[in-house]
């Protein structure tokens, strides 16, 4: 039943400059603590996802395609080599979204934890960045595990296959930052789940040249791929892993596009978080 | 540094056309317990968010610890402990983890927090719940944890927004006791409440707010003295007859308030007035003599009761 006798006072013990410099990392630390509680689930998803894809698409669809087109029949390589960068990027994006959309909805709406963070020296910018860093950690974790599973399955025949990890992470980071901003912007989370997920995210996955080259699409549908971080990351990944044919300007375009989405997503997240917390 | 920790002049907050806080003036002195009393929607929480340096004011002057919150938000928040109306604890984490991460948000070291958390668990009587998930705690426990969390940084000013709303009487008394101790330790308290008993118990000085404006300011005793009489006689004649009786009773005292369920008569001596009521041949169903409270002050100032 103690009184707080050791009290020195915040003027002595709190260093606002330290929080100004490292605040985002404190947010990440807290998010990681919550994430660790779900670690078994995160690991299960990260492993089950590639295992299921590789069995169903790799063994099923892949061998069917390779039988019909020859072992080097898709873009000059086996179907799984063609597919690997796209699958990796897709998984990375899913990991990034789990760790950016849900914490954002929770922080603003479900538990309002962002408001308690903002009552401390932490700023809206730092909270936004802390959530992003955590999502980036999850993205990297997911991409690396996915890649290791592919390695185990022996589907990575290119010696440069591991480069796809980087393009997958770029896709996850860009998409995660953008969706974090959107989740912060939409005050009604149902809009996110019913409209954004079904009519924006789903088509982006289906029309991003994931399972076949984007050029197989009629031209009036190809624009969906052009605005999708997944397509840009996949194209970069294919060039890096097996040297698919691609012009230098296009390489730059893919690179610049992904980084632009990342930067736009982060700037928007920071602004939206700061504005919504300051209402 | 002036003695005034919080200084507000003409403090105003508008949301579009709606004025939530309308030009309020007040000062909070170091070590005192200052209250904002008013009904729901009076603008108390909005005022708290401006003082808490999270919501920008529309106009007026505001300094907290001699700093302008629009320019030095994080530097001010470093010295505030905030207990919001809603316990926004991290429900995914345990009791101890909630205290720990909150301390980290203030940049406190792991070593410092280790000792501090033990002290706070004891203060909040949550030692046995240290590893429990927040979800499993009762309302009173969550409230105590939220207060303990706000104390992790040893704040200069502790801000409590409706600290006991939704708690049962026993939990309220435990909380009041904890807040008394903090006051004894020299912590400056800023409290909003719509419970007049809470304001009387906890506040050295308070302002009565209604519709975004301050109606009166002073100590609870002074406000009662200035805006009410010593005692109140409450009479009930049944809802049908109350309105009818009020007119007849007016001859017996200077001030009468007519509420839907009862009539309040203000006087220096309640028992004596009650005798006169009976002598005049009135027969209320029930009668009660009590001391005047802040509720009566509010009724006098606004013509309405605190809890609608």
Indicate whether B84 belongs to any domain.
no
* Residue A1 pLDDT exceeds 50: no
Domain that holds residue B29: 1-79+157-171+185-219
Is the CB of A7 less than 8 angstroms away from the CB of B78? no
Please state, as a whole number, how many other Cβ atoms lie within 10 Å of the Cβ of residue A247.
Answer: 8
Domain that holds residue A87: 30-277
For residues B133 and B164, state if they share a domain. Answer: no
**Any idea what the CATH number is for the domain that residue B166 is in?**
3.40.50.300
Indicate whether A196 belongs to any domain.
yes
For residues B67 and B121, state if they share a domain. Answer: no
Taking only the tens place, the pLDDT of each residue in A253-275 is: 999 999 999 999 999 999 999 99
The angle subtended at Cα B211 by Cα A115 and Cα B246, nearest 5°, is 135
**What value does the CA radius of gyration of chain B take, rounded to a whole number of Å?**
22
Residues of A with CB under 8 A from a CB of B: 1-16, 18-20, 22-23, 26-27, 29-30, 33-34, 37, 111-113, 115-123, 277-279
For residues B144 and B209, state if they share a domain. Answer: no
Contacts of residue B209, Cβ cutoff 8 Å, sequence gap at least 6: B24, B36, B37, B38, B42, B43, B44, B47, B215
Indicate whether A9 belongs to any domain.
no
Instruction: Kindly identify which residue of chain B lies nearest to residue A9, measuring between CA atoms.
Output: B154
Indicate whether B124 belongs to any domain.
yes
Indicate whether B302 belongs to any domain.
no
**Any idea what the CATH number is for the domain that residue B260 is in?**
3.30.70
A29: which chain B residues are within 8 Å (Cβ-Cβ)? 101, 104
Q: Chains A, B: CB contacts under 8 A, how many?
A: 131
pLDDT of residue B1: 45
Contacts of residue B216, Cβ cutoff 8 Å, sequence gap at least 6: B207, B208, B223, B226, B227, B297, B301
- Looking at the complex, report in whole angstroms how far the Cα of residue A278 sits from the nearest Cα belonging to chain B: 5
Taking only the tens place, the pLDDT of each residue in A69-122 is: 877 778 888 888 888 899 999 999 999 999 999 999 999 999 999 999 999 999
Indicate whether B238 belongs to any domain.
yes
For residues B283 and B246, state if they share a domain. Answer: yes
For residues B114 and B252, state if they share a domain. Answer: no
The partner residue sitting opposite B82, judged by closest CB among A2, A30, A119, is A119
Indicate whether B264 belongs to any domain.
yes
Indicate whether A191 belongs to any domain.
yes
Give the percent of chain A with pLDDT over 70. Answer: 98
Indicate whether A195 belongs to any domain.
yes
Cα distance between the two ends of chain A: 39
Query: Does the CB of B105 have a partner CB in chain A at under 8 Å?
Result: yes
For residues B70 and B98, state if they share a domain. Answer: no
Indicate whether A74 belongs to any domain.
yes
Indicate whether A21 belongs to any domain.
no
Taking only the tens place, the pLDDT of each residue in A144-199 is: 999 999 888 877 777 888 889 999 999 999 999 999 999 999 988 888 888 888 88
Task: State the total domains in chain B.
Answer: 3
pLDDT of residue A210: 85
Please provide the average confidence, as pLDDT, over all residues in chain A: 90
The partner residue sitting opposite B52, judged by closest CB among A9, A119, A279, is A119
For residues B139 and B252, state if they share a domain. Answer: no
As a whole number of angstroms, the distance between CA B84 and CA B67 comes to 22
As a whole number of angstroms, the distance between CA B221 and CA B226 comes to 9
Is the CB of A26 less than 8 angstroms away from the CB of B104? yes
For residues B75 and B214, state if they share a domain. Answer: yes
Binned at pLDDT 50, 70 and 90, residue A4 comes out as low
pLDDT (tens, 9 = 90+) of chain B, 308 residues, equals 447 999 999 999 999 999 999 999 999 999 999 999 988 889 999 999 999 999 999 999 999 999 999 999 999 999 999 999 989 999 999 999 999 999 999 999 999 999 999 999 998 999 999 999 999 999 999 999 999 999 999 999 999 999 988 888 888 898 898 898 888 888 999 999 888 888 888 999 999 999 999 999 999 999 999 998 899 999 998 877 777 788 888 888 888 988 888 899 999 999 999 999 999 888 899 999 999 988 899 888 888 776 65
Binned at pLDDT 50, 70 and 90, residue A60 comes out as confident
Indicate whether A95 belongs to any domain.
yes
- Looking at the complex, report in whole angstroms how far the Cα of residue B92 sits from the nearest Cα belonging to chain A: 6
B88: which chain A residues are within 8 Å (Cβ-Cβ)? 111-113, 115-116
As a whole number of angstroms, the distance between CA B48 and CA B79 comes to 15
Binned at pLDDT 50, 70 and 90, residue A15 comes out as very high
For residues B151 and B161, state if they share a domain. Answer: no
Phi/psi region, residue B66 (left: phi>0; alpha: psi -120 to 50; beta: rest), is left
* Residue A5 pLDDT exceeds 80: no
The angle subtended at Cα B68 by Cα B62 and Cα B70, nearest 5°, is 100
Instruction: Kindly identify which residue of chain A lies nearest to residue B116, measuring between CA atoms.
Output: A6
For residues B122 and B239, state if they share a domain. Answer: no
As a whole number of angstroms, the distance between CA B37 and CA B206 comes to 7
A278: which chain B residues are within 8 Å (Cβ-Cβ)? 54-56
Range in A204-218, A222-236, B62-76 with the lowest mean pLDDT? A204-218
Indicate whether B27 belongs to any domain.
yes
Tell how far CA A258 is from the center of its chain.
Answer: 12
Please spell the DSSP secondary structure of A67-133, one letter per residue: HHH-TT-BTTB-HHHHHHHHHHHHHHHHHHHHHHHHHHHIIIIIS-HHHHHHTTT--HHHHHHHHHH
- Looking at the complex, report in whole angstroms how far the Cα of residue A36 sits from the nearest Cα belonging to chain B: 10
Is B143 within 8 Å of B164 (Cβ atoms)?
yes
Task: State the total domains in chain A.
Answer: 1
For residues B284 and B246, state if they share a domain. Answer: yes
For residues B148 and B166, state if they share a domain. Answer: no
Closest alpha carbon to A176 in A143, A209, A221: A143
A33: which chain B residues are within 8 Å (Cβ-Cβ)? 93, 97, 101
Is B152 within 8 Å of A119 (Cβ atoms)?
no
């Amino acid at each position: 039943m103690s009184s707080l006798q050791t009290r020195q006072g915040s003027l002595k013990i709190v260093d606002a400059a330290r929080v100004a410099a490292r605040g985002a990392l404190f947010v990440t630390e807290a998010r990681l603590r919550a994430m660790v509680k779900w670690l078994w689930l995160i690991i299960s998803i990260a492993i089950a996802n590639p295992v299921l894809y590789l069995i169903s698409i790799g063994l099923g669809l892949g061998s069917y395609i390779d039988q019909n087109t020859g072992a080097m029949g898709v873009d000059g390589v086996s179907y799984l080599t063609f597919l690997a960068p796209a699958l990796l990027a897709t998984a990375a994006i899913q990991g990034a979204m789990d760790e950016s959309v849900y914490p954002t909805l929770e922080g603003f709406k479900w538990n309002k934890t962002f408001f308690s963070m903002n009552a401390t020296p932490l700023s809206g910018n730092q909270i936004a960045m802390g959530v992003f860093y955590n999502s980036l950690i999850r993205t990297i974790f997911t991409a690396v595990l996915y890649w290791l599973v592919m390695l185990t399955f022996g589907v990575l025949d290119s010696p440069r296959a591991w480069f796809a990890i980087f393009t997958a992470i770029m896709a996850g980071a860009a998409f995660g930052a953008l969706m974090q901003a959107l989740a912060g912007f939409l005050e009604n989370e149902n809009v996110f789940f019913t409209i954004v997920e079904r009519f924006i995210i789903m088509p982006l996955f289906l029309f991003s040249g994931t399972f076949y080259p984007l050029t197989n699409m009629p031209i009036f549908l190809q624009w969906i791929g052009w605005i999708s971080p997944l397509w840009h990351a996949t194209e970069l990944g294919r060039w890096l892993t097996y040297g698919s044919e691609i012009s230098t300007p296009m390489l730059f375009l893919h690179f610049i596009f992904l980084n632009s989405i990342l930067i736009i997503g982060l700037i928007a997240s920071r602004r939206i978080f700061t504005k919504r917390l300051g209402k | 540094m002036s003695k005034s920790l919080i200084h507000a002049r003409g403090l105003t907050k508008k949301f579009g056309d709606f004025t939530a806080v309308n030009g309020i003036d007040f000062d909070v002195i170091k070590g005192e317990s200052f209250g904002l009393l008013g009904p729901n929607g009076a603008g108390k929480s909005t005022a708290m968010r401006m003082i808490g340096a999270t919501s920008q004011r529309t106009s007026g002057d505001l300094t907290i610890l001699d700093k302008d919150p629009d320019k030095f938000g994080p530097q001010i928040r470093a010295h505030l402990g905030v207990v919001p109306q809603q316990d926004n604890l991290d429900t995914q984490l345990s009791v101890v983890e909630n205290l720990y991460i909150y301390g980290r948000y203030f940049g406190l070291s792991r070593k410092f927090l280790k000792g501090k958390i033990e002290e706070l668990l004891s203060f909040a009587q949550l030692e046995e719940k240290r590893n429990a998930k927040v979800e499993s705690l009762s309302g009173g426990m969550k409230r105590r944890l939220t207060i303990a969390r706000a104390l992790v940084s040893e704040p200069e000013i502790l801000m409590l927004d409706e600290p006991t709303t939704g708690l049962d009487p026993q939990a309220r008394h435990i909380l009041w006791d904890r807040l008394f101790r903090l006051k004894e330790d020299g912590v400056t308290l800023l409290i909003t409440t719509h419970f007049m008993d809470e304001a009387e118990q906890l506040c050295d000085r308070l302002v009565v707010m209604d519709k975004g404006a301050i109606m009166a300011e002073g100590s609870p005793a002074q406000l009662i003295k200035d805006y009410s009489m010593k005692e109140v006689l409450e009479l009930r004649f049944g809802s049908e007859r109350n309105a009818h009786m009020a007119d007849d009773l007016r001859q017996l005292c200077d001030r009468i308030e007519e509420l839907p369920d009862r009539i309040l008569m203000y006087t220096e001596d309640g028992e004596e007035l009650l005798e006169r009521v009976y002598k005049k041949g009135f027969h209320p169903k029930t009668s009660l003599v009590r001391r005047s409270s802040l509720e009566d002050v509010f009724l006098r100032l606004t013509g309405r009761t605190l809890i609608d």
